[in-house]
Amino acid sequence: MNTLEKPLSRFQLPKLAAIALGGVLLVGCAGNPPNEQFAVTESAVRSAVSAGGTEYAAVEMRAAQEKWKQAELAMQKEDYDEARKLAEQAEWDARVAERKAQAAKAQKAVEDAQRGIQELREESMRGIQ
């Protein structure tokens, strides 16, 4: 009797079952669509657009939107690992765009305030003369 024809011992059967179950679990984890990440990314992109990312951080915003489109295509192809990776990258690009837009708006507000202060000083100097 060759080894392929021998019945499995009571010790081998649990090992084989564990290996098979482990393989199914690994495939199951890798095969899950990244729905939660997609929701987070979509929110980050919308937030960046609302903050003025397209105006103040065009490069970062374009990168976020491109990666987001690529992630959606990967999702349609059921390449979930790639979709998750691209969605995460798009999220971070969008967050950078949002922060950059906020910083640009804050800088503009500071400049406007400084200009206002300068105008007040000039007015007050005219009043003294």
Is residue 26 a part of any domain in this protein? Answer: no
Cβ(97)–Cβ(57) below 8 Å: yes
Contacts of residue 104, defined as CB under 8 A and 6 or more positions apart, other chains included, come to 52, 56, 57
Q: What is the pTM of this model?
A: 0.68
Is residue 3 a part of any domain in this protein? Answer: no
Locate 50 and state its tokens.
């609302």
Please give the pLDDT value at position 127: 72
Is residue 30 a part of any domain in this protein? Answer: no
86-97 pLDDT per residue, tens: 999 999 999 999
Q: How many structural domains compose the chain?
A: 1
**In which domain, by residue range, is 124 found?**
36-128
90-126 pLDDT per residue, tens: 999 999 999 999 999 999 999 999 999 999 988 888 8
Cβ(53)–Cβ(60) below 8 Å: yes
Query: What CATH number should be reported for the domain holding residue 90?
Result: 1.20.1270.390
Is residue 6 a part of any domain in this protein? Answer: no
Please give the pLDDT value at position 126: 82
Confidence of residue 28 (pLDDT cuts 50, 70, 90): very low
